[in-house]
Amino acid sequence: MDWKRFGFIALIITVLFGVVVVVGQAKQPPLLIITSMLATTIAVATPLTLGALSGVYCERAGVVNIGIEGMMLTAAFFGWLGGIYMFQIYHMDAMVSIVLGVFFAILTGAIMALLHAVLSITFKVDQIIGGTVINILAVGLTGFLNRQLFFGKGSVFGGSVPASPGVLPTIHVPITELFTSICGSSAACLENVQAVNRVFDQKPIAMGAILLVFLSHYVLFNTRWGLRTRAVGEHPKAADTVGINVAKMRYANVLIGGMFAGLAGAYFTIESVPSFEPLLTNGRGFISLAAMIFGNWTPIGAWAAALVFGASQALLINMQIYRDVIPPQWAFLQQSYIVGLTPYILTMFILTGIIGRTTPPAADGVPYEK
Amino acid sequence: MSESPIVLEAKGITKQFPGVLANDNVNFDLRKGEIHALLGENGAGKSTLMNLLYGLHKPDKGEITVNGKNAIIHSPNDSIELGIGMVHQHFMLIPVFSVAENVMLGDEAVKNGSLDRNSVAKKITDISKQYGLDVDPNALVGTLPVGIQQRVEIVKTLYRNAEIVILDEPTAVLTPQEAEDLFRIMRDLTARGVSIIFITHKLKEVLAVADRITVMRAGRVINTVKPSETDSAQLANMMVGRQVILTVDKQDHEAADEILKVEGITVRDQRDLETVHNVSFSVRGGEVLGIAGVQGNGQTELSEALTGLRSPTSGKVTIDGKDLTGKPPRIITEAGLAHIPEDRQRHGLVLSYSIADNMALCDYYHAPFSSRGVLQPKALDENARKLISAFDVRTPSAFVNAGKLSGGNQQKVIVARELSRNVKLVIANQPTRGLDVGSIEYIHSEIIKMRDRGVAVLLISAELDEIMALSDRIAVMYRGQIVAIVEAKKTTREQLGLWMAGAHVQTA
Ligand SMILES: Nc1ncnc2c1ncn2[C@@H]1O[C@H](COP(=O)(O)OP(=O)(O)OP(=O)(O)O)[C@@H](O)[C@H]1O
Ligand SMILES: [Mg+2]
Quick one: which of B133, A227, A228 has its CA closest to B123? Answer: B133
Task: Give CA–CA dist B117/A196, Å, rounded.
Answer: 40
Reported as a single tens digit per residue, the pLDDT across B408-466 is 899 999 999 999 999 999 999 999 988 888 889 888 999 999 999 999 999 999 888 89
A230: Cβ contacts below 8 Å, ≥ 6 apart: A60, A220, A361, B94, B96, B97
- Chain mean pLDDT for chain B: 92
Residue B94 has pLDDT above 70, yes or no: yes
Beta partners for residue B486, in sequence order = B474
Separation in Å, CA of B58 to nearest CA in chain A: 12
> Residue B7 half-sphere exposure, CB side, CA atoms within 13 Å?
23
Residue type (1 letter), B33? G
**B139 closest CA partner among B188, B174, B93:** B93
The CA distance from B270 to B440, in Å, is 32
- Compute CA A15 distance to the chain's CA centroid, rounded to the nearest angstrom: 22
Query: What type of residue sits at position A75?
Result: A
Nearest to A84 by CA among A61, A72, A100: A100
User: In chain B, what are the domains?
Assistant: 6-240 (3.40.50.300), 245-336+423-508 (3.40.50.300), 352-419 (no CATH)
Mean pLDDT over residues B123-140, rounded? 92
Neighbours of B70 (CB within 10 A): 8
Chain B CB contacts of A240 below 8 Å: 56, 76
Report d(CA B371, CA B358) in Å as an integer: 18
Q: What is the pLDDT of residues A205-244, one digit of tens each?
A: 999 999 999 999 999 999 999 999 999 999 999 999 999 9
Please determine, for residue B507, whether its predicted confidence score (pLDDT) is greater than 60. Answer: no
More confident residue, A1 or B233: B233
Q: What's the gap between Cα B437 and its chain centre?
A: 13
Q: Which residues of B touch A218 (CB under 8 A)?
A: 114
Burial of B119 by CB count in 10 Å (0-12 exposed, 13-18 middle, 19+ buried)? middle
User: How distant is the Cα of A239 from the closest Cα of chain B, in angstroms?
Assistant: 7
B1 pLDDT band, cuts 50/70/90, is: very low
Q: Give the distance (Å) from ligand 2 centre to CA of residue B42.
A: 7
Neighbouring CB atoms inside 10 A of A284's CB total 24
Atom of ligand 1 nearest to the CA of B57: 1
**Alpha-carbon distance B326 to B324, whole Å?**
6
For A3-23, write each residue's pLDDT tens digit: 888 898 899 999 999 999 998
Per-residue pLDDT tens for A103-120? Answer: 999 999 999 999 999 999
CA of A115 relative to ligand 2 center, distance in Å: 38
In chain B, residues with a C-beta closer than 8 Å to the C-beta of A224 are 108, 110, 115
Residues contacting residue A12 through CB under 8 Å, at least 6 positions apart: A308, A311, A346
A159-173 pLDDT tens trace: 788 889 999 999 999
Q: What percent of chain B has pLDDT over 90?
A: 77
pLDDT for position A323: 83
Backbone angles phi, psi at A213, to 5 degrees: -60, -50
Q: What is the pLDDT of residue B508?
A: 42
CA of A229 to the centre of ligand 1 (A): 29
- Percent of chain B past pLDDT 70, that is, above it, reads 98
pLDDT of residue A340: 81
pLDDT score of B504: 62
In angstroms, rounded to a whole number, what is the distance separating the alpha carbons of residues B198 and B172? 12
Instruction: Tell me the three state secondary structure of residue B114.
Output: strand
Bridge partners (DSSP) listed for residue B13? B26
Is the pLDDT at A67 greater than 90? The verdict is yes
Torsion of CA B38, B42, B43, B49, to 10 degrees: 20
Closest partner residue to A224 (CB to CB) among B75, B95, B115 is: B115
Of A74-78, A341-345, A360-364, B14-18, give the lowest mean pLDDT range: A341-345
Cis before B368? omega within 30: yes
> Residue B314 forms beta bridges with which residues?
B266
Give CA–CA dist B364/B380, Å, rounded: 8
- pLDDT at A153 > cutoff 80: no
Q: Given a cut of 70, is residue B493 above it in pLDDT?
A: yes
Closest CA relative to residue A339, chosen from A9, A20, A7: A20
Closest residue by Cα to residue B172 from B164, B182, B162, B163: B182
ipTM topping 0.95 = no
From the number of C-beta atoms within 10 Å of its C-beta (0-12, 13-18, 19+), residue B490 rates as exposed
Is it true that domain A3-168+203-351 has CATH number 1.10.3470?
yes
Instruction: Kindly give the number of the ligand 1 atom that is closest to the alpha carbon of B18.
Output: 4
Res. A259 pLDDT band, cuts 50 70 90: very high
Buried b (16+ CB within 10 A) or exposed e, B444-481: bebbbebbeebbbbbbbbbbbbbbbbbbbbbbbbbebb
B467 to chain A, any CB pair closer than 8 A? The answer is: no
Rounded to whole angstroms, what are the CA distances from B27 to B12, B211, B214, B219? Answer: 5, 17, 10, 11
Q: What is the pLDDT of residues A171-181, one digit of tens each?
A: 999 988 888 88
How far apart are the C-alpha atoms of B132 and B154, rounded to whole Å? 11
Report CB contact under 8 Å: A227, B115.
Answer: yes
Judged against a pLDDT cut of 50, whether residue B267 lies above it is answered with: yes
CA pair distance B142, B101, nearest whole angstrom: 12
How far apart are the C-alpha atoms of B128 and B137, rounded to whole Å?
10
Q: In chain A, where are the structural domains located?
A: 3-168+203-351
Ligand 1 atom, smallest distance to B406 CA: 17
* Cβ-based neighbours of A126, under 8 Å, separated by 6 or more: A120
Largest Cα separation within chain B, whole Å, is: 73
Average pLDDT over residues B117-136: 92
Question: pLDDT class for A62, splitting at 50, 70, 90?
Answer: very high
Q: Name the closest residue on chain A to residue B108, using Cα atoms.
A: A224
Nearest in space to A173 (alpha carbons), one of A151, A193, A152, A148: A193
In degrees and rounded to multiples of 5, residue A327 shows phi and psi of -60, 145
Cβ neighbours of B62 (radius 10 Å): 16
Spatial CA neighbour of A50 closest among A32, A69, A63 = A69
> For residue B155, what is the DSSP state?
H
Positive or negative torsion for Cα B320, B322, B324, B330: negative
What 8-state DSSP symbol labels residue A162?
P
CA distance B274 to B263: 16
What residues contact A49, with CB distance under 8 A and at least 6 apart? Answer: A209, A210, A212, A213, A288, A291, A302, A303, A306, A307
Give the nearest ligand 1 atom to B219 CA.
14
Residue nearest to atom 28 of ligand 1 (CA): B43
Bridge-based pairing of strands B212-217 and B35-40 is parallel
Q: Measured between alpha carbons, how far is B503 from B501 in angstroms, rounded to an integer? A: 6
- B86: number of CA atoms within 13 Å, CB side? 30
A238 to chain B: which residues are within 8 Å by CB? 92-94, 105
Amino acid identity of B219?
A: G
Residues 107-126 of B with CB under 8 A from A: 107-108, 110, 113-115
* Mutation for testing the B interface, residue in A124, A240, A242 having most B CBs under 10 Å: A242
- DSSP class of residue B489 equals G
Does the CB atom of residue B386 touch ligand 1 within 6 A? no
Q: How far apart are the first and last CA of chain A?
A: 33
Sign, CA torsion B341/B86/B351/B309: negative
- Check pLDDT > 70 for residue B505: no
Is A102 exposed, middle or buried (CB count within 10 Å of its CB: 0-12, 13-18, 19+)?
buried
How many CB atoms are closer than 10 A to CB A304? 24
Q: For residue B88, what pLDDT band results from cuts at 50, 70 and 90?
A: very high
Instruction: Tell me: pLDDT of A335 over 50.
Output: yes
A56 neighbors A298 (Cβ within 8 angstroms): yes
| Interatomic CA distance for residues B416 and B393, integer angstroms | 9
Neighbours of A256 (CB within 10 A): 23
